[in-house]
Structure 1
Amino acid sequence: MTTAKMHRERVFETIAPLTEPVELPLTSLLEAPRRLTADIESPIDVPGFDNSSMDGYALAAATVEELCGRPIPVRGRVAAGARGQQVQPGTAVEIMTGAPLPPGTDSVVKIEDTSPGRFGADTVTITAEVEPAPGTFVRRRGSDVRAGQTVLREGTMLTPAHLGVAAACGVNELPVLGLPRVLVVSTGDEIAAEAAAGINDANSVTLSAGLRRLGVEAEVAFVPDDPQQLLDRVRSSDAQLVISTGGISKGAHEVVRLAADLDGRSAMTFEPIAMQPGGPQGCGRLADHAWIALPGNPVSTLISFELFIRPALLGLAGHEAPREVAYHRLAHGFDEAPPAGKLQVRRAQLTDAGLAFVGDSRSHLLHSYAEATHLVFVSPEESGADDPYSAAGDRLMTWKIA
């Protein structure tokens, strides 16, 4: 069988050509994670000038040394965003946090260390023991970032802090990995409105939610078990990538497989993956579109999206995880023996006692997935134990469900 790692690489190879670098304004990067495609240098110093880190009085350190404990004349005020006038030796100026130090000053005394301890007085007296040192309570120009400094590295998955750095440096657009337009196709007669034994479709909702939270533009289509109708619907779409659910297993009405047989230009690979749930998978090209074919059971669909599609859309090659990784102890042993030779992905809640499995390994139990806080990875090396209930206390790798 193909391993989950091997299949992830194939999905990456299918999706990667669709994710060309694009320049986007910061306002388009606020809601979804994106991967930076080039180093970013700051065009300016940050801060761009020496400024006060406190509300207080700006003056020369020599004035502090000479007149500490004695009244010092106050000559005006400098607010944030203003530019002060020259400050003469032996005098001070009121200054607010973030305001630029005016000429003739090199230090700040915070208002709490003065009398009368409020602004508006004609004189101020330094009442606390203050070190008369240049730079006291001063944020020096370029103390955060120097002009020409690389502030963001290629490959960075952008966080709010990264976007804030770009904004502070006056960089209003960033080169990031683009995202393809996606057509989500739910297949099967059972989801058609007129079906006698209809099934409410959850897959299109979960996939659309996952895609849109990545910033992907997605549309949804419902196609019965008619391979020609499936081909026609996809060919009419301007989407760059198709993600289908169902129709790839061993039944007599596997519509995606039948469509691949019908399409003479198909280049699809269908293969069993050594994992549970989510064994049947497919990827390649079909109906002139890049295509990822997922199994139809809702938990299999979601786990396949997390393991294969989400990393590829984020540009995560190799072993990079698309979710927060941790290792947690099991609160109890396995409730069933993990399958020998397969990666098993279980759902669990993290409790004070450790990981407690939610539901079992069956792929239709979507409610248990919704109640879980973590995906738990049971590797083939840990499966098939003589005593499947002996794993209480074992530490297993998890992804936090978000």
Structure 2
Amino acid sequence: MPPSSSSASNPRTSAPRTLASVDDHAARVRSLLPRPDPADVPLAECDGLILAADLVAKVALPGFDNSAMDGYAVRRADVESATADSPAEIPVSDDIPAGRIDVPPLKPGTAARIMTGSPVPEGADAIVPVEQTDAATTGAPPATVRIYEAPTPAQHVRRQGEEASAGDVVLPAGTPLTPSSIGLAAAVGHPSLPVYRRPRVLVLSTGSELVAVGGPLKPGQIYESNSHMLAAAIRRVGATAHTLTLVPDDVDSFMSSLKSAAADADLIITSGGVSAGAYEVVKDGLSSTGTVQFDKVGMQPGMPQGAGTVFGTPIVTLPGNPVSVYVSFEVFVRPALLTYMGIDDTERPGFVGTWTGGDQPSPAGKRQFLRGTCDVPAGEVAPIGTPPSHLLASLARSNCLAIVPEETTQLHNGDDVEIWLLDGAL
């Protein structure tokens, strides 16, 4: 498709730049997404988010002395001589189901049938499990109960506040919220929590050659895959992703799509249209705004990059080849999203491993990100595929990225190399 009138009237005439550093571009992207103020979010929506303030117990945990077993509440002095051969037989004076709120003190010389979680009556100092008696926990309570084993002090009694007292900090700020921590928050009286919310990310894939997955392909067309990959990566981080795909190589259409969707996004990510060709719709459209900076970054793959704002919304423009898209997301976007969500440690797990892939050239002045398979216990890594950035199948079989620094032009067997472990690496 020929360029639209908008692109024809706004040719790119900027002078070539020297290569920007990976670290400088990463800092630029991160600056676009400053950490927001915390928001109070209902518990049902907190899983995976980061606690923004200390979680302080509103009530004690447990809130009262309660039984850890189904059985009988007793005064130890009344049954301390009980054995299997000579059981203690005492009257049952009360029945205490879970939820009862009017529990009277235990009468001396008696037992009270009690269920797990039920309040321990005043005067009782131990719980005898039903398995150590001749009684059942179903039906009406018996008139008497035989106890075959003397209980130890405070046996099976959960003491009030043994986990936390009211006012205690039960989770510190910065804790990633999990199902168990959400359960704890509910148990100590919090229906909602202060958290850093999930960023809303809009993904746009541009290119007139793109076709929806599963549709018929004509010569020169390919299935659109970048938006699916990016959306999955965004959701894996914990953010929300909305895709707007199949934006044609037309500046007016591209800018119109951006304008209509920008207000509902915290970040826009585009793929494609940022290189040096004739129909680079993203670069053509955004260059005229003066709010997006395009750079050649010293990395392989993923050299053409852009970052800035459009219609008041942060935007990161990635190259179009799939491996470049993925590596760029890992290097620039993933850390920025994690920071936004309150996570301070944004680094992929990794270590310095041993290269076992033979001689591997690396371009001078560029940081190279090689797809690889890592034997984690042995600390060894070997490449998968070759460096070209369109080889998606080799990326899908990788469990790590090997990072070759800018000053290294050749890897040899036995060389140390930095490893980033990807999702699924063992």
TM-score class, shorter-chain normalisation, is 0.7 to 0.9
In structure 2, relative to structure 1, the CA distance for the partners of 1:10 and 1:40 (3 Å cut) is same
Distance (Å, rounded) in 2 between the aligned partners of 1:23 and 1:362:
46
Is the contact made by 2:273 and 2:281 (CA closer than 8 Å) also made in structure 1? yes
* Contact 1:22 1:178 (8 Å CA) reproduced: yes
Q: Note the 1:1-20 alignment, pairs <5 A.
A: 1-16=19-34, 19-20=36-37
Structure 2 CA distance for partners of 1:207 and 1:26, relative to 1, 3 Å: same
Structure 1 unmatched runs, 5+: none
Q: How does 1:134-153 map to 2 (within 5 A)?
A: 135-153=154-172
* Equivalent residue, structure 1, for 2:397: 371
What TM-score does the superposition give when structure 1 sets the normalisation length? 0.84
Assess if the C-alpha contact under 8 Å between 1:378 and 1:396 holds in 2.
Answer: yes
Equivalent positions of 1:268-287 (< 5 A) are: 268-287=292-311
Matched, 1:249 2:271: no
Aligned counterpart for 2:188 among listed residues 169, 175, 182: 169
Question: 1: distance between equivalents of 2:147 and 2:362?
Answer: 73
Q: What is the Cα deviation at residue 231 of structure 1?
A: 1.7
Query: Counterparts of 1:36-185 in structure 2 under 5 Å?
Result: 36-65=51-80, 69-83=87-101, 84-112=103-131, 114-116=132-134, 118-119=136-137, 121-128=142-149, 130-131=151-152, 133=153, 135-185=154-204
Structure 1 residues 207 and 122, CA, compared in 2 at 3 Å: closer, same or farther?
same
Tell me the secondary structure at the aligned position of residue 189 of structure 1.
Answer: coil
SS for the counterpart of 2:127 is strand
- Give CA deviations for 1:84-106 in whole Å, capped at 9, x if unaligned: 43211122122222222122212
Given the superposition, is the C-alpha separation of residues 188 and 201 from structure 1 closer, same or farther in structure 2, using an over 3 Å criterion?
A: same
Structure 2: state its 5+ residue gaps.
1-18
Query: CA separation in 1, counterparts of 2:20 and 2:95?
Result: 72
Paired residues, what number?
A: 389
SS state at 1:206 partner: helix
The 1:398–1:72 alpha-carbon spacing in structure 2 relative to 1, beyond 3 Å, is: farther
Q: CA deviation at 1:280?
A: 2.3
CA contact (8 A) 1:36 1:174 kept: yes
Preserved contact between residue 338 and residue 388 of structure 1 (Cα < 8 Å): no
**3-state SS of 2:119 partner:** coil
Match of 2:334 among 302, 310, 333: 310
Q: Secondary structure at the match of 2:24?
A: helix
Amino acid at match of 2:230: L
* Amino acid of the structure 2 residue aligned with 1:61: R
- In 2, distance between residues paired with 1:110 and 1:328? 55
1:125-149: CA deviation from partner (whole Å, max 9, x where unpaired): 4433643x2x222111111222112
1:328 deviates by: 7.6
Structure 2 contact 46–195 (Cα < 8 Å) conserved = no
SS in 2 for 1:236: helix
Percent sequence identity over aligned pairs:
37
- 1:23 deviates by 1.9
Cα distance change on mapping 1:368 and 1:94 into 2, 3 Å: farther
Question: 1:20·1:179 contact (CA, 8 Å) conserved in 2?
Answer: no
Q: Distance in 1 between matches of 2:318 and 2:55?
A: 37
Task: Please give the alpha-carbon distance, in whole angstroms, between the structure 2 residues aligned to 1:160 and 1:15.
Answer: 27
1:389 to 2:413 alignment:
yes
CA contact (8 A) 1:349 1:358 kept: no
Q: Is the 8 A contact 1:34 1:314 kept in 2?
A: no
TM-score normalized with structure 2 length: 0.80
How many Å apart are 1:35 and its aligned residue? 2.2
Distance (whole Å) between structure 2 residues aligned to residue 358 and residue 53 of structure 1: 55
C-alpha contact 1:75 1:93 (8 A) present in aligned 2: yes
Q: Distance in 2 between matches of 1:321 and 1:117?
A: 57
Matches within 5 A, 1:335-374: 336-341=360-365, 342-348=367-373, 350=375, 355=381, 357-372=383-398, 374=399
1:336-366 residue CA offsets vs partner (Å, 9 max, x unmatched): 3344551424242557765554334332222
The change in CA–CA distance for 1:356 and 1:170 in structure 2 (over 3 A counts) is: farther
In structure 2, do the counterparts of structure 1 residues 362 and 172 end up closer, same or farther at CA, with 3 Å as the change threshold? farther
Q: Distance in 1 between matches of 2:384 and 2:111?
A: 67
Tell me which residue corresponds to 1:259.
285
Indicate whether 1:198 and 2:221 are aligned: yes
Q: Which moved more, 1:159-168 or 1:305-314?
A: 305-314
User: Alpha-carbon deviation of 1:9?
Assistant: 2.2
Contact 2:224-2:246 at 8 Å conserved across structures:
no
Amino acid at match of 1:57: Y
Partner of 2:41: 24
Matched position secondary structure for 1:208: helix
1:20 Cα deviation after fit: 4.4
